[in-house]
Structure 1
Amino acid sequence: MTPEDRFPGPEHPDSGPRHQPDLDVLPYGTYYEPEPAGYAEAAYESETYSGYGGARYLEQHWPATGHPHDGHTQQGAHAQQDHHVQHDHHDPQGAHGPQAAHPGYEPTLPDMPSPAHQVDDPPTIELGPPLPEPGLPYHPYPAPAPNEPPGPLYVVGDVHGYLDELLAELRHQGLIDADGHWSAGRSRIWFLGDFTDRGPDGIGVIDLVMQLAAEAAAAGGYCRALMGNHELLFLGAARYGDEPVQSTAGTASFLAAWRLNGGQQHDLDRLEAHHVSWLSRLPAIALEDGHLLLHSDTTAYLEYGESIAEVNDAVHDLLADEGVDEWWDCFRRFTKRFAFRGDAGPTAVHELLDTYGGSRVVHGHSPIPYLTGAVHADDGAPPHIPGPYIYADDLAVAMDGGVTMEGRLLVARLPVN
């Protein structure tokens, strides 16, 4: 079973623990692996270029010996500094499991407003061009010409706090410069959710995405993000702590479930009011260039509305006004997975496309090694993830490369073919 399934339940038929034999029901699909090319010559010309280099990139970053992330270097002001902190991402019962909880612990946030009464929300989009360093010339981005087409569209899979890996992939794509600032002009990026938990610097990831949102807007592009189930879990842990929630398997709490699913205490300690405000307003679903963007590979979105606007409004209203049990129910629904694999997978995808529009679903949430059954190699090597995984009669694209299990943090340009 996957790490997210390790909390009390189930409350819904397909959201409980999944045993390894279930993973033998494999989707029929293929990996998308583009030819290597430089960003400058291909990013605005090739309709299928995604820039991460496929197997050739893996050979460079996964040497025959050593840890697959050993080659990553620190980049920019957001590089992770706490390398002395040890994290076990394969054992949710370990250092960050329930036994790590302190009796009576209640998380506190400095001057955090309730979601229903947000105040002093710092702007993260319409900030204008970034200010130059003192003494450097200022060159504003040119305004888009009339009828100028939008820039290329990229998606980013689950990050889970792996800031260094995210910086490396964005830099490899040419989307940021060596200092971690937006360098992609009018390109468009959608993050598919799950910024925190399991990895070393979830708050650093959130800060980076908020920064890139402002810088991209100044350049005539945009950087946007979806709400994943780990955003719901993180916000619930911050707001409700150990307050009991109703579960068919007994009493549980957001804080216990968050710790069980890789919650990092230093992320909760660094969570500020402007992070809460920004996360609470993320959409759950979006449609771009015929791609229906979701975090979770589930049809549970249909339970929240018959249009994209209705779904997003329903989730935002719930986060603003409802209580702990309603939050918990929403979290549990968006933690469902695997709806698009197997013989019934294409039908499930069509349910969503027929309701919300688009010709293909692009999602994160379920790591590709679990979708394909390639979780553990016989020789103990990390799972081989050349790129996004296309399945369900080519109707679904999976983007969670399994970075928490030594897989890949995927960044890809759409469409992938």
Structure 2
Amino acid sequence: MTPEDRFPGPEHPDSGPRHQPDLDVLPYGTYYEPEPAGGYPEASYEAETYSGYGGARYLEQHWPAPGQDQEHDAPHTTGHHPGYEQPLPDHSSPAAAHQSDDPPTIELGPPFTEPGLPYHPYPAPGPGEPPGPLYVVGDVHGYLDELRSELRHQGLIDADGHWSAGRSRIWFLGDFTDRGPDGIGVIDLVMQLAAEAAAAGGYCRALMGNHELLFLGAARYGDEPVQSTAGTASFLAAWRLNGGQQHDLDRLEGHHISWLSRLPAIALEDGHLLLHSDTTAYLEYGDSIAAVNDAVHDLLADEGVDEWWDCFRRFTKRFAFRGDAGPMAVHELLDTYGGARVVHGHSPIPYLTGAVHADDGAPPHIPGPYIYADDLAVAMDGGVTMEGRLLVARLPI
């Protein structure tokens, strides 16, 4: 298991029950590096995109060593977020204050302008009018400046941060918050772009990542105990261990919760099966895209803390598509849900390729999306939290 996603409980180094790949066997794959977009200086783009905030050094300094007691690494407090009509947890302890200073995802219409208001469907292309180009965005994890820089570089937003891509289509692959400096700012930007894209005849949509489940669970259930084989655990403790930022929880409002809770877990677009996690766990929630999304939405609407916890843990599994058994795992998903290729986030490309640490200590070089598993899988998490790169790419690759 990589240090990216930790929670109290036994480690799950593989991503699904259908095979047990050797994690020392690296995938055979290639990088895709698109030509730089015209009209935007490449030098300034790189300077803005390669972030030194947090990164691998943060993981090394703050990650518990093997065998360390993780049950009590973060303080346990009680309380829930006001978006769920409960008082906020008390994070006034010194350990919590220190953690908050550390750097560290449905088919939606435009977001609610006010909680409870209806939304409108996206306009369909006119007769004979093809859809606009399709883009995907990898894990953002609160790195708002890097996201704006990359969207600007791709010509998708203007200098003021507004939609400038006409009928283009964008899918965010999940994990908006945690570890980076402004997760709520990222969510607000995506919601803004969803409305602006719809008005222009395009769309901006997003998947639910495991960090959306974790963030919502921390807000709703706080330090309420969950059933864990490692003993007492809670969403709040797990959220903190995974880079949860107190300022994000403080700014979380009802309309954010409504929007995040309705994100789909899986989507199919132009023959690309879009997932957050590189896992086969989706198969445990249904044999169609609609069934999986309905099952997750029903769980978030009606089920209790243990069901939420189980869902979070399933979608935190990873590495199902690497190694010799990887193509078979991809085919399981494609044969069930359709599509010709899987596009996912979740597992940082430096971990997939084994290039986490360079000999000279330089940040990992991520020229673009990583294509592997017999060209059936495209990895989009460029490792922005470990001084890699926030990836935005046009499909097909």
State TM-score, norm by structure 2: 0.79
Distance 1:386 1:256, change over 3 A: same
Determine helix, strand or coil for the equivalent of 1:413: strand
Per the TM alignment, residue 256 of structure 1 is displaced from its structure 2 partner at its CA by 0.1
Moved more, 332-341 or 136-145: 136-145
**Quick one: distance in 1 between partners of 2:281 and 2:213?**
15
Per the TM alignment, residue 249 of structure 1 is displaced from its structure 2 partner at its CA by 1.0
List runs of 5+ in structure 2 lacking aligned partners: none
Identity of aligned residues (%): 92
Residues 177, 183 of structure 2: 8 Å contact kept: yes
Distance 1:134 1:117, change over 3 A: closer
Per the TM alignment, residue 113 of structure 1 is displaced from its structure 2 partner at its CA by 25
Residues 99, 245 of structure 2: 8 Å contact kept: no
Residues 160, 196 of structure 1: 8 Å contact kept: yes
2:215 to 226, 234, 258: 234
Determine helix, strand or coil for the equivalent of 1:269: helix
Distance 1:142 1:157, change over 3 A: closer
Determine helix, strand or coil for the equivalent of 1:135: coil
Moved more, 341-350 or 97-106: 97-106
Per the TM alignment, residue 251 of structure 1 is displaced from its structure 2 partner at its CA by 1.0
CA offsets 1:261-314 (integer angstroms, 9 cap, x no match) = 000000000000000000000000000000000000000000000000000000
* Equivalences, count: 392
The match for 1:72 is none
Residues 36, 54 of structure 1: 8 Å contact kept: no
Determine helix, strand or coil for the equivalent of 1:39: coil
Determine helix, strand or coil for the equivalent of 2:4: helix
Per the TM alignment, residue 156 of structure 1 is displaced from its structure 2 partner at its CA by 0.1
Per the TM alignment, residue 9 of structure 1 is displaced from its structure 2 partner at its CA by 1.5
Distance 1:42 1:265, change over 3 A: closer
Residues 213, 223 of structure 1: 8 Å contact kept: yes
Determine helix, strand or coil for the equivalent of 1:317: helix
Determine helix, strand or coil for the equivalent of 2:122: coil
The match for 1:323 is 304
The match for 1:303 is 284
Per the TM alignment, residue 22 of structure 1 is displaced from its structure 2 partner at its CA by 6.2
**Quick one: distance in 2 between partners of 1:406 and 1:89?**
28
Per the TM alignment, residue 4 of structure 1 is displaced from its structure 2 partner at its CA by 3.5
Determine helix, strand or coil for the equivalent of 1:23: coil
Distance 1:100 1:4, change over 3 A: farther
Distance 1:159 1:114, change over 3 A: same
Moved more, 11-20 or 189-198: 11-20
Per the TM alignment, residue 392 of structure 1 is displaced from its structure 2 partner at its CA by 0.0
Distance 1:183 1:54, change over 3 A: farther
2:92 matches 1:113:
yes
Distance 1:219 1:42, change over 3 A: farther
Residues 12, 333 of structure 1: 8 Å contact kept: no
**Quick one: distance in 1 between partners of 2:103 and 2:142?**
23
Moved more, 307-316 or 246-255: 246-255
RMSD of equivalent CA atoms: 9.6
Moved more, 286-295 or 105-114: 105-114
Residues 135, 394 of structure 2: 8 Å contact kept: yes
Per the TM alignment, residue 34 of structure 1 is displaced from its structure 2 partner at its CA by 1.9
**Quick one: distance in 2 between partners of 1:356 and 1:374?**
32
Distance 1:333 1:36, change over 3 A: same
List runs of 5+ in structure 1 lacking aligned partners: 65-85
Moved more, 366-375 or 120-129: 120-129
Distance 1:310 1:48, change over 3 A: farther
State TM-score, norm by structure 1: 0.75
Determine helix, strand or coil for the equivalent of 2:260: helix
**Quick one: distance in 1 between partners of 2:384 and 2:291?**
32
Determine helix, strand or coil for the equivalent of 1:244: coil
Moved more, 35-44 or 315-324: 35-44
**Quick one: distance in 1 between partners of 2:381 and 2:98?**
34
CA offsets 1:94-116 (integer angstroms, 9 cap, x no match) = x9999999999997369999999
**Quick one: distance in 2 between partners of 1:241 and 1:328?**
12
Residues 125, 217 of structure 1: 8 Å contact kept: no
